[in-house]
Structure 1
Amino acid sequence: MPCLCLQVETSVFMKLRKAGSFNDKLLTDNMTGSYTADTLLKCTSFCASQSLCVSLFFNINNGLCQTHSVVFTDPTSSLVSVNTSYFYITKGNSVLQPIKECDDPPPETGVVWGAGTSFLSSRRPYTCAGALLPKVSDVECHTSGNWTLMSDFCRDLESCEDVQMCSSTNLDGTYQLYPPVLGGHGVNIYCHNMATVPQAYVTLFEENMSRNDYSLRTWTFPCIFQDRVGDATAYFNKISVSLVDMSVNRDDYTFAVTCQESPSRSIPGFGEAGGCSHDYMWRDYRQCPAPGVFVINTNGTGLKISPTCSWSADGAYGSRVEPIEWSSDGLKIQTTFDAWCGSFKPDALYLEYSSSSDIRGIATIPTCPPN
């Protein structure tokens, strides 16, 4: 068998050997490069410059030079390529193997590795079993001998978009998700609009209501009041949240029951109250409480309003708000408010994990076929 000497290493010759069974044939699997070379020696130099190259195809007429990381032995599936020859490298009497830089990726429960090599710069795809997603699309073998990730290849589902990514068959419903901002705690999230742009909601199990009340009341006991048309109330069954920071969209009424007596009276958002009574200044609040009110109760969600949240009052001619009542476990917040046309609103509302709250309802385990 003809051969071409490449180099000498302590009397061990590196030889380029021709495989006659591949004459006028070409394979494109496991390529490490494709070049144009005017001579076989030039093509060989391209191969010698690569740590992965152990064989090559060279066409003497058009100069096609393909380098490969495997030594082929079966020409059955090859393409016809007239004037092409195939060569592989031997070291002494042994077929040269590519430089191996990484061990196989470590086994991990739930990780299914795709086909691939473990040589320098090789990439290995993988999938995650169950309700998990890969942290990256694939891992790469680095010169350090380590892969891009060496452990913890998969992550929990963090958002409704993740549920949608798992499978387009996942419909609107409640799923257990793990928003990173909650520090690894799982909560039940209702995913809405899964066929288009998903939106996350927290389902509420207790009364959560906000009211703008425009009744006139007197200080006499019992309270005597005149109800002026224009009250507006909202009862929230679910609240819209951003799972990035767990902020609440207070003006989402998709899952709220609202009552608006007059179009001129705005519906209060979640955690808001309003009023418009010019007699608020002299009313005896011990006998006639303020008409505007909000109640927040997150019991059953595994979440609570962050204690750092604050509210601000405004009124055209002044306002009065009772002290905000927080339950000892932080799950229930309520107060009453009145003004000569004003409102009492939070600057922002954020949810955080609560160890005091149970988690009610049943969450669906997302369908995540191998991706």
Structure 2
Amino acid sequence: MKITWNVITTFLFLVQEVFGSDCGESDHEFQKIGRILHPKSNGGFLLTTTAINVDCASQCWRKEQCWSYYHNPHDQACFLASRYQTAVPDTSFTDTSSNYFDLYRKPGGYSTCKELQLANPSATDGDYWLYPTASHVHYNIVKMYCYAMGTSSPREFITLPTPNRGEYPNETYQKCLTHVYSLTGCPGSQGVYIYSKIEIDPTTMNVNRATRAFMTGSGKSRDYAWVGDCYTELDNNYTCGPKGTFTINTSGTGLIVDPALTWKRAGYKSKVVMTKSDGDAVINLICGGYPGSCAPLYQMKLYISTANYVNPASATWMT
């Protein structure tokens, strides 16, 4: 009998399942073999077994958490994938895309709100599970808010469980000498702007930062993730700022902002301070000058984060 790589990995996985540690659902440690992720316990892939293709599909179909599966016809290896890690072909060894099957495409699996609307004309605005076609998300399921479903041009948004807040403070501390609570040098620039949803393009997962359909606040409104102030000029002599703030928080969305994205400075003697937490789901920005501002250096793109949990019941699955 010819021993294939999949036979070996299947055997190792089964040994681990029999003799491994606790299989609690909260454990999400993974061991990477090729581009197929095998969990040390029930987390990413639900189970490993051997079965003919139709049996493998049947097992996936019966499990609520199973969205796609891998089946190798040579050794009958069957891996059932959860929504947090779609089965993706690995071209580093003899593997082909024909071994990968996406049950989420049957009977539903819409990529855009327009597709969902055409198939379900009575669908209203709300959070739905969609499959964006952006190549870097590998057709993973994403929770998206379909907006304007009563029109001919519905749009896709990401609902932010924690509203993202920015503030251009109404205060000045020019040259760190006289602190006043007004913007004598930048009148009318102050404002608080809060986003509860952000618009995205499902074909690229790019954020439309200028869309303010779900922005609230007071004073002057700003684009998403823009930050600035008119507090003081900042250099080696003056270090009492900046004071402008914006917090990006995508916790609970299953997504994070491109980890490589940086912010560019503009204005007079400006400065930016950026800190991250919660697996890059939270980005705290402080920026300003006299006046000074900061904005993303290039197009803001969202990526899948398996560590960023999304409640499966928080959106609707349409067929």
Q: State the TM-score, normalized to the length of structure 1.
A: 0.51
Equivalent in the alignment of 1:365: 317
Retained in 2: the 8 A contact 1:216–1:225? yes
Retained in 2: the 8 A contact 1:211–1:292? yes
Pairwise CA distance, 1:210: 2.1
What letter matches 2:309 in structure 1? D
The partner residue of 1:307 within 259, 270, 275 is: 259
What letter matches 2:302 in structure 1? L
Equivalent in the alignment of 1:191: 146
What letter matches 1:205 in structure 2? P
Q: Pairwise mapping of residues 1-371 of structure 1 onto structure 2 (< 5 A)?
A: 154=106, 156-181=109-134, 182-196=137-151, 197-217=153-173, 224-228=179-183, 230=188, 231-260=190-219, 266-281=220-235, 285=239, 288-315=240-267, 317-322=268-273, 324-327=274-277, 329-346=279-296, 347-360=298-311, 362-366=314-318, 368=319
Retained in 1: the 8 A contact 2:232–2:241? no
What letter matches 2:292 in structure 1? G
Q: Pick the structure with more helix per residue.
A: 2
Shift in CA distance, 328/362, structure 1 to aligned 2, threshold 3 Å:
closer
What letter matches 1:273 in structure 2? V
What letter matches 2:109 in structure 1? D
Unaligned runs of 5+ in 2: 1-53, 62-100
SS at 1:164's partner residue?
helix
Pairwise CA distance, 1:277: 3.2
Equivalent in the alignment of 2:71: none
SS at 1:355's partner residue?
coil
What is the distance in 1 between the residues matched to 2:166 and 2:227?
Answer: 6
What is the distance in 2 between the residues matched to 1:284 and 1:278?
Answer: 8
What letter matches 1:353 in structure 2? I
Post-superposition CA distance 1:21-45 (Å, at most 9, x none): xxxxxxxxxxxxxxxxxxxxxxxxx
Pairwise CA distance, 1:355: 0.8
Unaligned runs of 5+ in 1: 1-105, 111-150, 261-265
Retained in 1: the 8 A contact 2:248–2:283? yes
Retained in 2: the 8 A contact 1:211–1:268? no
Range 333-342 or range 189-198, more displaced: 333-342
What letter matches 2:300 in structure 1? L
What is the distance in 1 between the residues matched to 2:259 and 2:316?
Answer: 31
Pairwise CA distance, 1:202: 0.4
What is the distance in 2 between the residues matched to 1:278 and 1:218?
Answer: 4
What letter matches 1:200 in structure 2? E
SS at 1:163's partner residue?
helix
Retained in 2: the 8 A contact 1:300–1:359? yes
Pairwise CA distance, 1:278: 4.2
Pairwise CA distance, 1:212: 2.6
Q: State the TM-score, normalized to the length of structure 2.
A: 0.59
